[in-house]
C-alpha cells in the first residue's frame, strides 16, 4: 500500500542575524532573545495541533538554551543547523552534532546548512549524518540556481538528500518568504498541488519570523507578519492540511525511514 504523502514541518533555530544583513548592529543576546520569543510561538502552535516537527538547531543557540534542548518533546526531532549561523568550518559538522547529542541524549541524524548553501556531501556523511536538507531546487536571485536539481528526495554518496519543496510546475519555492508574502489561499493551493504530485512537502521556517521585528530596518518582504499575523497563518495552514486529510505529519527521521523501506 502506498504511504500517505509526508508533511514535513521544519524550523531552523538560529541566531536572529537578519537585521545585521541590513546594517543593524545586534549583540548575540539580542539575536538569541528574538529567536527564543518566536520559537515559543511556533512550538505552541505545533503542540496545540499535535503535529511533529523537525528542529534544525545551531550549536550557538543550543549552548545558550540547553534547558530547552533537554526538554524538547520526544515527538519532535532534533537535527543540526551547523555551529554558527553566520560562519562555517567543516569541523562544525561534527562538533554541532556531538553538542546536540550530548545536551539532548538523542541520536542526531540530520543536517541543514545555513542559508541552504552548498556543502560537500562527503563531509556531511563523514561527520555521521544520514540525511541532509540543504537543497532548494529552484532559482533565487543572489542566492543559488538549482533549476536542474531533483525536486524529489534522492540517495547519493551514502546520504539521503531531502530538498525543500518547490511546485511541480515552474519550481516556485514554498519557502519562508513565500509563506510570508503569498496570500494564504494561494500558498495552500500550491502546497496541495505539490503534495499530490511530489508525494511530500518539506516546509521550513525560522523562529525570529514569529517574533516582533518591527523596530529593525528590514524590507517589508522579510518582516511581513511578524506581529502575530504569521502565527495565525501557520495555525490556518496546519488546520487546512488536517481537515483536508492531505498527508501525514512526520519528522525528517521518520520520512527517511519510510524512504529506506521503499528503496
Residues of the chain with pLDDT under 70: 1, 263
- The per-residue pLDDT for 228 is 85
Q: Is 23 left (phi over 0), alpha (psi -120 to 50) or beta?
A: left
Give the number of residues written for the chain.
263
Residue 179's CB: how many other CB atoms inside 10 A? 20
- pLDDT tens digits, 174-231: 999 999 999 999 999 999 999 999 999 999 999 999 999 999 999 999 999 877 899 9
Q: Report the CATH number of the 6-262 domain.
A: 3.20.20.370
> 5 and 248 in contact (C-beta within 8 Å)?
yes
Distance from C-alpha of 100 to C-alpha of 162, rounded to nearest angstrom: 21
Enter the DSSP assignment of 114: G
Distance of CA 198 to the CA centre of its chain: 18
Q: Is 42 exposed, middle or buried (0-12, 13-18, 19+ CB in 10 A)?
A: buried
Distance from C-alpha of 111 to C-alpha of 100, rounded to nearest angstrom: 12
Distance from C-alpha of 9 to C-alpha of 110, rounded to nearest angstrom: 14
- The per-residue pLDDT for 142 is 85
> Angle at which helices 28-49 and 229-243 pack, to 10 degrees?
30
Instruction: For residue 199, give the nearest of 243, 145, 149, 262 by alpha carbon.
Output: 262
Q: For Cα atoms 149, 89, 86, give the angle at the middle one, nearest 5 degrees.
A: 80
Q: For Cα atoms 202, 22, 170, give the angle at the middle one, nearest 5 degrees.
A: 35
> 65 and 103 in contact (C-beta within 8 Å)?
no
- The per-residue pLDDT for 263 is 58
Residue 67's CB: how many other CB atoms inside 10 A? 7
Who's near 90: CB < 8 A, 6+ residues apart? 120, 123
Q: Classify 31 as helix, strand or coil.
A: helix
Task: Output the nine-digit C-alpha cell for 110.
Answer: 540530520
Task: Output the nine-digit C-alpha cell for 166.
Answer: 518547490
Q: For Cα atoms 26, 30, 31, give the angle at the middle one, nearest 5 degrees.
A: 75
Distance from the first to the final alpha carbon of the chain: 15
Amino acid at each position: 500500500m502506498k504511504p500517505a504523502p509526508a508533511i514535513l514541518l521544519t524550523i531552523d533555530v538560529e541566531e536572529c542575524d537578519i537585521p545585521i544583513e541590513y546594517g543593524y548592529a545586534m549583540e548575540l543576546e539580542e539575536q538569541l532573545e528574538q529567536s527564543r520569543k518566536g520559537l515559543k510561538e511556533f512550538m505552541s502552535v505545533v503542540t496545540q495541533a499535535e503535529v511533529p516537527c523537525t528542529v534544525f538547531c545551531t550549536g550557538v543557540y543550543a549552548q545558550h538554551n540547553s534547558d530547552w534542548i533537554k526538554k524538547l518533546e520526544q515527538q519532535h526531532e532534533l537535527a543540526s543547523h551547523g555551529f554558527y549561523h553566520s560562519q562555517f568550518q567543516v569541523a562544525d559538522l561534527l562538533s554541532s552534532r556531538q553538542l546536540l547529542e550530548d545536551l539532548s541524549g538523542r541520536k542526531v541524524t540530520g543536517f541543514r546548512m545555513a542559508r541552504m548553501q552548498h556543502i560537500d556531501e562527503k563531509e556531511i556523511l563523514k561527520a555521521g549524518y544520514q540525511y541532509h536538507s540543504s537543497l532548494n531546487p529552484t532559482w533565487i536571485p543572489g542566492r543559488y540556481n538549482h533549476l536542474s536539481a531533483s525536486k524529489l528526495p534522492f540517495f547519493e554518496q551514502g546520504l539521503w538528500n531531502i530538498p525543500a519543496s518547490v511546485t511541480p510546475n515552474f519550481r516556485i519555492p514554498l519557502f519562508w518568504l513565500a509563506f510570508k508574502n503569498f496570500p494564504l489561499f494561494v500558498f495552500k493551493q500550491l502546497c496541495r498541488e505539490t503534495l499530490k504530485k511530489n508525494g511530500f512537502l518539506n516546509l521550513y521556517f525560522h523562529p525570529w519570523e514569529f517574533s516582533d521585528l518591527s523596530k529593525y530596518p528590514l524590507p517589508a518582504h522579510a518582516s511581513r507578519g511578524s506581529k502575530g499575523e504569521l502565527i495565525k497563518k501557520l495555525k490556518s495552514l496546519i488546520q487546512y492540511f488536517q481537515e483536508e486529510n492531505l498527508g501525514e505529519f512526520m519528522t525528517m527521521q521518520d520520512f527517511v525511514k519510510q524512504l529506506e523501506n521503499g528503496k
